[in-house]
Amino acid sequence: MKMVSSLCMDKHFITSLKKKLETPQKAVIIPHKNPDGDALGSTLALLHFLIQNKHEAVVIAPNEYPDFLNWLPGQEAILKYNRNPKDVRYKIESATLIFTLDFNHLSRIGDLEPLVQKAKADKIMIDHHESPDNYATLMYSDVSMSSTCEMVYNIIKDMDPNGFTPDISECLYTGIMTDTGSFRYPATTPATHRAIAHLIETGASGTEIHQRIYDSASFSRLKLLGLTLSNLKQIPNLPVVYMTLSQKELNSCDYKKGDTEGFVNYGLSLEGIIFSCIMIENENEGIIKISFRSQGEFSVNDFARSYFNGGGHHNAAGGMSSDSIETTVARFIESVQEVAHKF
């Protein structure tokens, strides 16, 4: 297994991938559970690229994704394991290559994990999160990258500089835009902007994509945002805020998957706040899902790993709790106080 350096794609990775793709492959491409814009954008872009290079390919998602992503080119052909378990098992068992994108531990694909573990196909990881597991035969892992979509962009550019179609460019633009907070986060580099410029040149409409992602809110989502902000609290004498949403509150606003996307970032819009958290009850799974965001030097990745069975990036991470929402809030406050010296 080969892990790629942080500044450029390792020659071993691209050479090995090219060699594997010299012969027709049956490829399965898998994003993480509850896929976001980067996960779907990267998997669909790779799907289009493989198909135009005469390979069989399919994207298999562990479960549903938000409605604001249901326009992405090719998404209508995605197989969802929660809806088509028999077809998914056949595709994974007959695959010759399995690409795993935007995650680096098989636990991130839920019930698909044992199927992928048992599969005989070579596994190829493409991901930008910290602390990758060692399940992959071939790995392109780079925590300095803005997004997995930027990594797929690098792969396509290296393998076929003329291979960018409007469909590929729209998918990649979407993932880079969403994972960089519209190009605001620190991982957004000059190389990221050059990639975005190239994607616009090859068919992506930045204005249209932004409108489809961010200007398509339902009335119920805006009501839910208002409710969330009314629950906003600051921990006294610390630059930390948190928000909560109970299942009852979600139900009162006709919650749909994806409705709370980005809510946690509102905490960071407050002057002087460097750490924001949202805790959301999920009765079906029996857990509290938690999102963490920070600015500057405070690592929410370290915080999530230490206290809430999670992880992610330096300034963006997730976690979970099996306690009640009240107990989870108390644990969060206590945990923050333990690391207060870092603020």
- pLDDT for 193 equals 98
Residue 2 lies in a domain: no
Distance CA 170, CA 191 (A): 18
Are residues 159 and 244 located together in one domain of the fold? no
The answer on pLDDT for 19 being more than 90 is yes
Q: What is the average pLDDT value for the chain, to the nearest integer?
A: 95
Structure tokens at 220: 């119920």
Cβ distance 119 to 89 under 8 Å?
no
Residues 156 and 266 in one domain: no
Structure tokens at 100: 């795993």
Residues 198 and 255 in one domain: no
Considering the domain architecture, whether residues 263 and 147 belong to the same structural domain is answered as no
Q: Which domain holds residue 319?
A: 219-342
Amino acid making up residue 166:
P
Report the pLDDT value the prediction gives residue 9, as an integer from 0 to 100.
Answer: 62
**In this structure, are 47 and 177 located in the same domain?**
yes
Structure tokens at 294: 């920070």
Q: Could you say which of 158, 185, 213 is where a domain stops?
A: 213
Q: How distant, in Å, are the alpha carbons of 40, 238, 277, 279, 305 from that of 308? A: 26, 20, 12, 11, 6
User: Could you identify the residue written with the tokens 């108390």?
Assistant: 330
Give the CATH number of the domain where residue 30 resides: 3.90.1640.10
Same structural domain, 196 and 333: no
pLDDT in tens, 304-336: 999 999 988 899 999 999 999 999 999 999 999
Residue type, 296: G
**183, 195 in Cβ contact below 8 A?**
no
**Is the residue at 49 inside a domain?**
yes
Instruction: Tell me the β-bridge partners of 321.
Output: 288
Tally of CB atoms within 10 A around 39: 29
Same domain, residue pair 224 and 208:
no
Residue 11 above 90 pLDDT? no
Judge if 101 and 120 occupy the same domain.
Answer: yes
Question: Is 166 among the domain residues?
Answer: yes
CA-nearest of 282, 273, 318 to 129 is 318
Q: Which residue has the higher pLDDT, 7 or 298?
A: 298
Q: Give the pLDDT band (50/70/90) at residue 10.
A: confident
Work out the pLDDT band at 32, boundaries 50, 70, 90. Answer: very high
Domain tally, the chain: 2
Residue 151 has pLDDT above 70, yes or no: yes
Nearest of 53, 29, 58 to residue 125 by alpha carbon: 29
Q: In terms of Cα–Cα distance, which of 36, 270, 32, 291 is closest to 300? A: 291
Q: Encode pLDDT of 221-277 as tens digits.
A: 999 999 999 999 999 999 999 999 999 999 999 999 899 999 999 999 999 999 999
Are 175 and 226 part of one and the same domain?
Answer: no
| pLDDT tens figures, 70-121 | 999 999 999 999 999 999 999 999 999 999 999 999 999 999 999 999 999 9
Task: Mark whether 244 and 199 lie in a shared domain.
Answer: no
Instruction: Give per-residue pLDDT as tens, 37-69.
Output: 999 999 999 999 999 999 999 999 999 999 999
> Is residue 54 domain-resident?
yes
Answer yes or no: is pLDDT of 286 > 60: yes
This prediction has a pTM of 0.89
Query: Which one, of 147, 171, 195, 141, lies nearest residue 50 by Cα?
Result: 171
Report yes or no on 128 lying in a domain.
Answer: yes
